[in-house]
Each structure stands twice: as C-alpha cells, then as structure tokens.
C-alpha cells in the first residue's frame, strides 16, 4: 500500500527524530525510541537544521515546568524513501506548529511532521533504518540563549 | 484377568522400563492376540459409556507415565549405564553436566537485574509525560519471557539470546532482539489488569515473519517455535 504524503516529501528528505537517552543503547536507538503518540513527531530537514531541532527541545518544558536538558537527547534521521519502503506506514503529514504569541515551553516548529502507523513491527524497522545525526551542541546553546 | 488388572499390569511394566536400566520387563510376549482386551480398547456393545471413558483415561495415563519416564528416568539411567562399562574408569554423570548444572535463565536473569532501574523510573522519566512502568507489568513480562526461554531449552537444549529491555513512553515495556539473522520485538501492555504481548519478528530480508498478540500468562507454541530463531 502506498504511503499517503501530505507535503512535498521527496525520497531524499530526512525526518529528524529526537530520542531520549533512555532509548539509546550502544549509540543506536531502540525500537522504543519510535513510539507514536497519535503520530510519531519528527522535524522535516527542509525547514530546520539539526541544531535548531535540538534547541527547540531545550526550549520545551517538562511536566514539572523546568526546561528540558538537551544533553539527554540525541538526534536520528529517517529518510523518507526508506520509510516509504516499510509496509504499514499510513501517512507522512507536514504539520507545522505555530502560535502567536509564542507559548513559553512550547516553541513554534515550522518543520514539524507526523508519521502515522500503528503496529509494533514498524518501531522495530524504524530503529534499523535510523541513522545518527551529528549536532554542534555549542550552536544549540547559542540558539537557546538568544531565544 | 480383568481389563483393569491387565491395564495395571501394563502400567507397572512401563514404569519398570523407565525406572530400571536393566529393563525388568515382565510384559507377557505370549499373550493371546485374539484377546482384544489387551491390545485395544474393547468395543462396548452394551453401550456402557462410563467403562469406555475409564478405559480411554487408563491408556492416556499409561502414555503420560511412559513419556515422563522416557524423559527423566530411562535416559538418565542409560547415560549412567554407558559410563559404568568396564573399560570406563571414571564414573561420571553426564546428565548432571547436560541438564542440572546449566540454568537456562542465567543470562536472562542478568538482563533483568540490569533492567531493574526501570522500576525506579518516576512519572516523566522521558523528560515528557511518560507514566511509570508498573511492577506488575515488569514482573509479568519478565516471567513470560523466562517461560519461553525455558520451554525452548526443554525442547531444543539451547538458550536463546537475551533481549534488550526498554520502557516505552506509553507505559508499556519492550523486549527486543536485533541479531544478525533475526529480529523480534515483543511489547507488553496491560488491559484490565491482564498483560498481553504484542509481537513482530522476521528473519533477514523480511523472511518468515510472525506477528500477533497473545496473553502473557502462558506459553504459545507457535511463538515459542519461532523464537528458536533467536539463538
């Protein structure tokens, strides 16, 4: 079954997925890193750099109101072409988040995209096609401090 | 001799075979084959259902006893018997080496010990709003995987690889194997206080895929058989 694309995603586009350290083993993401919450949230590389993506995490609040620590997160990439090869992915939707005025703890995200799927097997497969993305963490700190 | 006496005699013979390597088999090879009460369930021309059921149960019982002794008694006896021969100077119980000294759960128990930090995770452990992992879910899931490991060991005499155990943001628990030849993910979730295992596995190049869900409280043969690829 073809994956429904709501956005002009080419096969070479990369969706950036952030992963908490709890989900990383030997520098690789475990299947648990790709758990969907409605859809699996990612950032489309067409509209963001990895540094901006990680900085948005640092500008997001936890349930206790504190800002998240970016040191606890790594970024992984998923090529759209690889995702489309996996049977069971329903759709990839470009769903940017924009609030005016911006809400503290919930930064606007012009690159937000959701991958919709249901089954356990897809998490296993995503964990195998994901590749690590290097991030300049000093640039991330700079973006956070300027926001 | 009545039917019951004949059956009891047969049961004793089978037990003797299993328990003694010398085979004290007193089964009467000179039986009259025309005597149908010995070599088959008698045809109940009177329609006595109770007697029919009883005789079937007796035969089932014989097979069960025989099966048990084949697995435990006689094999052990034979293993010992081999080394008791005169040319062997060392008395050695191979049975202990093969079965008693190896705990198939050693490896998995180590994995569980390393994963017990999961029980200490508090709500929001993923820096978002992940709920804590319930001890009942953790224990049931670990027990379930242990049961599968033991079942495979009993059937094939090898221990499968230990999985990675990871909490999931929705409060469920993942057990994953990502090996060179096979991969599998079993996700344990609770519904109405019952734990279910949702699984997917396949071999290299998506061959022989298996997918589905089962209650975690018992071992299902189709899943157990497939998990043997996780060697």
pLDDT in tens, A43-63: 999 999 999 999 999 999 988
Nearest by CB to A35, from B170, B178, B199: name it. B170
In this predicted structure, the answer to whether residue B44 has a pLDDT above a threshold of 60 is: no
Beta strands in chain B (DSSP E): 164-167, 173-178, 182-191, 194-203, 207-215
In this predicted structure, the answer to whether residue B73 has a pLDDT above a threshold of 70 is: no
The DSSP output letter for A59 is: T
Rounded-to-integer distance, Cα A43 and Cα A77, Å: 9
Dmax (CA) of chain B: 80
The pLDDT assigned to B18 comes to 34
The pLDDT assigned to B95 comes to 55
ipTM of the complex: 0.90
Q: Which residue of B has its CA nearest to A66?
A: B127
The pLDDT assigned to B100 comes to 52
Domains of chain B, by residue range, sit at: 3-96, 102-230
SS3 B45: coil
| Cβ atoms of residues B151 and B110 within 8 Å | no
The pair of three-digit structure tokens given for residue B20, joined into one six-digit string? 């003694």
Touching B: A residues 79-98, CB under 8 Å: none
pLDDT (tens digit, 9 = 90+) per residue, B184-226? 999 999 988 899 999 999 998 888 999 999 999 999 999 999 9
B183 in reach of chain A (CB within 8 A): yes
What mean pLDDT, rounded, does chain B reach?
71
- Residues of chain A contacting B176 with CB distance shorter than 8 Å: 30-31, 124, 127
pLDDT (tens digit, 9 = 90+) per residue, A12-36? 999 999 999 999 998 999 999 998 8
In this predicted structure, the answer to whether residue B162 has a pLDDT above a threshold of 80 is: yes
């Amino acid at each position: 079954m073809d994956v429904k694309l709501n956005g002009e995603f080419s096969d070479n586009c990369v969706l950036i997925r952030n992963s908490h350290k709890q989900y990383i083993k030997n520098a690789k993401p475990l299947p648990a890193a790709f758990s969907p919450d409605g859809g699996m949230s990612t950032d489309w590389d067409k509209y963001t750099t990895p540094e901006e993506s990680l900085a948005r995490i640092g500008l997001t609040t936890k349930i206790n109101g504190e800002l998240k620590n970016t040191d606890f997160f790594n970024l992984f990439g998923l090529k759209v072409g690889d995702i489309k090869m996996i049977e069971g992915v329903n759709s990839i939707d470009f769903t940017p988040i924009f609030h005016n005025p911006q809400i503290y703890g919930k930064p606007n995200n012009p690159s937000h995209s959701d991958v919709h799927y249901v089954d356990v097997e897809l998490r296993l497969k995503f964990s195998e096609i994901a590749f690590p993305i290097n991030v300049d963490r000093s640039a991330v700190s700079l973006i956070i401090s300027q926001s | 001799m009545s039917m019951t006496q004949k059956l009891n005699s047969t049961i004793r013979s089978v037990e003797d075979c299993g328990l003694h390597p010398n085979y004290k088999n007193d089964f009467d090879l000179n039986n009259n084959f025309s005597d149908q009460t010995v070599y088959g369930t008698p045809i109940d021309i009177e329609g006595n259902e109770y007697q029919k059921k009883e005789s079937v149960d007796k035969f089932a019982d014989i097979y069960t006893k025989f099966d048990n002794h084949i697995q435990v008694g006689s094999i052990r006896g034979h293993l010992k018997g081999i080394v008791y021969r005169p040319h062997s100077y060392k008395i050695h119980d191979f049975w202990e080496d093969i079965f008693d000294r190896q705990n198939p759960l050693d490896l998995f128990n180590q994995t569980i010990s390393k994963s017990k930090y999961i029980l200490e995770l508090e709500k929001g452990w993923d820096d978002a709003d992940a709920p804590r992992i319930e001890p009942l879910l953790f224990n049931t899931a670990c027990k379930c995987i242990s049961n599968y490991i033991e079942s495979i060991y009993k059937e094939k005499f090898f221990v499968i690889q230990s999985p990675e155990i990871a909490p999931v943001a929705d409060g469920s628990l993942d057990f994953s194997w990502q090996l060179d030849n096979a991969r599998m993910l079993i996700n344990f979730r609770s519904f109405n206080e019952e734990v279910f295992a949702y699984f997917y596995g396949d071999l290299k190049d998506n061959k022989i895929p298996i997918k589905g869900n089962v209650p975690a409280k018992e071992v299902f043969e189709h899943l157990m058989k497939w998990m043997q690829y996780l060697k």
